[in-house]
Structure 1
Amino acid sequence: MIAELPYLPPEAAFAALADTPGLAFLDSAAVGDPRSRVSYLCLSPRATLRLEADPYATLRHWMASHTPPTRPETWPFPFAGGAVGWIGYDLAREAAGVASRFAPMPGLPGGWFGLYTTLLGFDPEARRLFYLGPEEDLPGITARLQTTPALPPVPPLRWAPEMSRETYREAHERLRAYIAAGDIYQANLTLRFIAPRSDGLPLAAMHMALRRLSPAPFAACIQHEGFGLACASPERFLRLTADGEVETRPIKGTAARSDDPDDDATAAAALHASPKERAENLMITDLLRNDLGQVCQIGSVAVPELWAVESYAQAHHLVSAVTGRLKPGLDAFDLLAATLPGGSITGAPKRRAMQIIDELEAGPRGAYCGALCWIGFDGAMDSAIIIRTLTATADALYAQAGGGITWDSVAEAEYDEAMVKISPLLALGQ
Structure 2
Amino acid sequence: MTKEQINTFKEKALTYASNFDVCCYLDSHHYQDKYGKHDCLIAFGKEKELIVPTGNAFSSLKNFVEENQEWMFGLLAYDLKDEIENLDHFKKEDFLAFPDLWFFIPTHLISIKDDRIQIIKGDKEIVSKILEISIFKEKSNDDLSIQQKFTKEEYLNHIEKIKHHIKRGDVYEMNFCQEFFAKNAIINPLATYKSLTEVSPTPFSGFLKIENKFILSATPERFLSKRGNMLTSQPIKGTAKRSKDEAEDLTIKNTLKNSKKEQAENVMIVDLVRNDLTKSAVKGTVKVDELFGIYTFPQVHQMISSISCELSPNVHFVDAIKNTFPMGSMTGAPKLRAMQLIDQYERSKRGVYSGSFGYITPDGDFDFNVVIRSILYNAETRYLSFQVGGAITYESDAEKEYEECLLKASAIMSVLKK
Shorter-chain TM band: over 0.9
Cα distance between partner residues in 1 of 2:241 and 2:30 = 17
Deviations 1:342-383 (A, max 9, x none): 000100000000011111111111100012121111010111
Alignment of 1:72-111 (within 5 A): 82-103=71-92, 105-106=94-95, 107-111=97-101
Cα distance between partner residues in 1 of 2:375 and 2:204 = 14
Equivalent residue for 1:39? 40
Equivalent residue for 1:404? 391
Alignment of 1:3-152 (within 5 A): 8-29=8-29, 31=31, 38-53=39-54, 54-66=56-68, 68=69, 82-103=71-92, 105-106=94-95, 107-116=97-106, 118-123=108-113, 126-134=114-122, 137-139=123-125, 142-150=128-136, 152=138
Q: The residue matched to 1:427 in structure 2 has which SS?
A: helix
Deviates more, 1:8-17 or 1:260-269: 8-17
Q: The residue matched to 1:233 in structure 2 has which SS?
A: coil
Q: The residue matched to 2:289 in structure 1 has which SS?
A: strand
Equivalent residue for 2:219? 233
For the pair 1:333 / 2:289, whether they are aligned, the reply is no
Q: Which amino acid aligns with 1:403?
A: G
Q: Which amino acid aligns with 1:92?
A: K
Q: Which amino acid aligns with 1:119?
A: L
Query: Any conservation in 2 of the 1:218–1:384 contact (CA below 8 Å)?
Result: yes
Cα distance between partner residues in 2 of 1:408 and 1:29 = 35
Cα distance between partner residues in 1 of 2:193 and 2:57 = 27
Cα distance between partner residues in 2 of 1:28 and 1:13 = 15
Deviations 1:320-357 (A, max 9, x none): 11110111131221111111110001000000000111
Q: The residue matched to 1:24 in structure 2 has which SS?
A: strand
Q: Gaps (5+ residues) in structure 1?
A: 1-5, 69-80
Structure 1 residue 52 displacement after superposition: 0.8
Deviates more, 1:169-178 or 1:392-401: 392-401
Query: Any conservation in 1 of the 2:12–2:135 contact (CA below 8 Å)?
Result: no
Q: The residue matched to 2:161 in structure 1 has which SS?
A: helix
For the pair 1:425 / 2:393, whether they are aligned, the reply is no
Q: The residue matched to 1:98 in structure 2 has which SS?
A: coil
Cα distance between partner residues in 1 of 2:31 and 2:244 = 18
Deviations 1:147-167 (A, max 9, x none): 113262112222111111111
Q: TM-score, normalised by structure 1?
A: 0.90
Deviates more, 1:377-386 or 1:36-45: 36-45
Deviations 1:33-90 (A, max 9, x none): 6668610110212112223122211111122223x3xxxxxxxxxxxx5221110112
Label 1:61 to 1:416 Cα distance change in 2 as closer, same or farther (>3 A).
same
Cα distance between partner residues in 1 of 2:259 and 2:133 = 51
Cα distance between partner residues in 1 of 2:30 and 2:345 = 34
Query: Any conservation in 1 of the 2:30–2:39 contact (CA below 8 Å)?
Result: no
Cα distance between partner residues in 1 of 2:243 and 2:35 = 24
Label 1:141 to 1:65 Cα distance change in 2 as closer, same or farther (>3 A).
same
Q: The residue matched to 1:163 in structure 2 has which SS?
A: coil
Cα distance between partner residues in 2 of 1:287 and 1:294 = 12
Q: Give the length in aligned residue pairs.
A: 406
Query: Any conservation in 2 of the 1:16–1:149 contact (CA below 8 Å)?
Result: no
Q: The residue matched to 1:121 in structure 2 has which SS?
A: strand
Two-structure CA RMSD over aligned residues (Å): 1.9
Query: Any conservation in 1 of the 2:92–2:347 contact (CA below 8 Å)?
Result: no
Cα distance between partner residues in 1 of 2:90 and 2:211 = 28
Cα distance between partner residues in 1 of 2:223 and 2:342 = 20
Alignment of 1:187-266 (within 5 A): 187-196=174-183, 198-199=185-186, 201-241=187-227, 243-266=228-251
Q: Gaps (5+ residues) in structure 2?
A: none
Equivalent residue for 1:270? 255
Cα distance between partner residues in 2 of 1:145 and 1:93 = 45
Cα distance between partner residues in 2 of 1:117 and 1:170 = 50
Query: Any conservation in 2 of the 1:231–1:390 contact (CA below 8 Å)?
Result: yes
Equivalent residue for 1:385? 370
Cα distance between partner residues in 2 of 1:387 and 1:140 = 32
Deviations 1:12-46 (A, max 9, x none): 32124321221110111255666686101102121
Q: The residue matched to 1:208 in structure 2 has which SS?
A: helix
Query: Any conservation in 2 of the 1:250–1:319 contact (CA below 8 Å)?
Result: yes
Equivalent residue for 1:75? none
Label 1:341 to 1:93 Cα distance change in 2 as closer, same or farther (>3 A).
farther
Q: Which runs of 4+ in 1 moved over 6 A?
A: none
Q: Which amino acid aligns with 2:74?
A: G
Structure 1 residue 93 displacement after superposition: 4.1
Structure 1 residue 424 displacement after superposition: 1.3
Cα distance between partner residues in 2 of 1:151 and 1:101 = 43
Structure 1 residue 427 displacement after superposition: 1.6
Deviations 1:118-166 (A, max 9, x none): 211113xx432111223xx333552243111326211222211111111
Query: Any conservation in 2 of the 1:297–1:324 contact (CA below 8 Å)?
Result: yes
Cα distance between partner residues in 1 of 2:190 and 2:404 = 27
For the pair 1:166 / 2:153, whether they are aligned, the reply is yes
Give the share of equivalent positions with the same residue, in percent.
Answer: 30
Structure 1 residue 426 displacement after superposition: 1.5
Equivalent residue for 1:74? none
Cα distance between partner residues in 2 of 1:84 and 1:104 = 27
Query: Any conservation in 1 of the 2:29–2:39 contact (CA below 8 Å)?
Result: no
Label 1:416 to 1:30 Cα distance change in 2 as closer, same or farther (>3 A).
farther
Structure 1 residue 266 displacement after superposition: 0.7
Query: Any conservation in 2 of the 1:93–1:99 contact (CA below 8 Å)?
Result: no
Cα distance between partner residues in 1 of 2:126 and 2:108 = 13
Q: TM-score, normalised by structure 2?
A: 0.92
Cα distance between partner residues in 1 of 2:184 and 2:99 = 18
Deviates more, 1:81-90 or 1:404-413: 81-90
Q: The residue matched to 1:338 in structure 2 has which SS?
A: helix
Label 1:316 to 1:30 Cα distance change in 2 as closer, same or farther (>3 A).
farther
Label 1:147 to 1:110 Cα distance change in 2 as closer, same or farther (>3 A).
same
